[in-house]
Chain A
């Protein structure tokens, strides 16, 4: 079955700097890759996603890149703000089913 690895497990950046979180997946059948942000006491919130027919997608300060050959995808957050502090999860899915999540990255943005 699918296995998703995520690095780093914790990340601290200064406000205004960029943050990058990387994930790798094992199943070449996976074709949908969402990223979620989870704040304390809340459920995960979808922040951006990418499908396998696209190499990069951007939404304001957030971007995701996908390398299908290497089976890895990354989340890029630019101009980080304190409110970006949270746990971020990547996931891999085949046609919107059988989601497998990475273990999460705790991002701290220091003012």
Chain B
């Protein structure tokens, strides 16, 4: 079974721009969660989508949004980028039924 894939792997943007990241979960998984990882704040939960609906949300500003498609692929969007948004963005998939969560390799976003 193929693992979780994320594209692109690396991104460089400038302040004020917006960015869209993509995540394809493990086949059969209906839950996709997004996390931001930084050296100072560690792994922080952004939101979770299950069957195209946002099921849980972390404490991030509205500039961070996401969606999930009928094939369970998910996208995350960050608008009006700030320097502090530079981070590794990870997505994780699970079957959504109280089972294991598996991470992708992440997208490294650098905001200049």
B-contacting residues of A (Cβ < 8 Å)?
32, 34, 36, 41-46, 49, 89, 95-104
Contact = CB atoms under 8 A, between A and B. Distances in A.
A21 to B, nearest CB: 15
A89 B43 contact: yes
B64 interface: no
In the A-B complex, list the 5 residue pairs whose CB atoms are closest, starting with the nearest: A43-B103, A96-B98, A101-B43, A44-B103, A43-B105
Q: Main secondary structure on chain A at its contact with chain B?
A: strand
A96 B99 contact: yes
Interface residues of B, number: 23
Q: Main secondary structure on chain B at its contact with chain A?
A: strand
Nearest to A6: B42
B42 A97 contact: no
Contacts of B55: 97
A46 B100 contact: yes
Contacts of A102: 42
Nearest to A44: B103
Given A43-B90, A44-B90, A96-B97, A101 B103 contact: no
B9 to A, nearest CB: 10
A98 B42 contact: no
A90 to B, nearest CB: 11
Contacts of A43: 4, 90, 103-106
User: For B44, B94, B101, which residue has the most chain A Cβ atoms within 10 angstroms?
Assistant: B101
B42 A46 contact: no
A96 B101 contact: yes
Contacts of B72: none
A99 B94 CA distance: 12
A9 to B, nearest CB: 11
A6 to B, nearest CB: 9
